Amino acid sequence: MAARLAFPRLVGGPIRVEVRASLGPHLAATWIRRRLVRLDREVLLRAGEFERILIHEIFHFVWVRLSNAERRSWETVLARELRAGVAGELGWSAEWRKAKLDRSDAASRSPRWRRYACESFCDSAAWLFSRIGRHGEFTLGGAARRIRADWFRRKFPATRALPI
């Protein structure tokens, strides 16, 4: 397992977080323009779930503020995994999207591919920054995890504040 990174410094306006009785089949939802994250209260019941899910949702705000070059760089990591037939993911939201992809999605940067890239980025950040060692949704192999962790280290050094 790759060594975890310190949680980055975030800069930007406040994000409102609401806990609700039920969000249906989802544990969380984010509205970027409204700067709102809603969490299902179920995330409070299991150790580490609140942190993992909240970090995932916060990184949706980071994703939309990355440069096009940074997003494309992340997509390159994912495209290499797809070509190599790497199975697994670091969260359910990316896992089910990955299962529906084929190589043409990456090549054409289809909407399906771009949604997968975003969810994979957010799930990877949640894995890396939540400090949860094991989770049933962490199915990506060790070599691919190390490559993703190295990408985050290069793109987000400790001195870089991330805009949200």
Model confidence at 149: pLDDT above 90: yes
Model confidence at 23: pLDDT above 70: no
At residue 16, the 3 state secondary structure works out as strand
pTM for the complete prediction? Answer: 0.91
74-126 pLDDT tens trace: 999 999 999 999 999 999 999 999 999 988 999 899 999 999 999 999 999 99
Nearest alpha-carbon partner for 88 in 142, 140, 30: 140
24-69 pLDDT tens trace: 677 888 999 999 999 998 888 888 889 999 999 999 999 999 999 9
**Encoded tokens for 38:** 């809603």
Matching residue, tokens 């940067």: 109
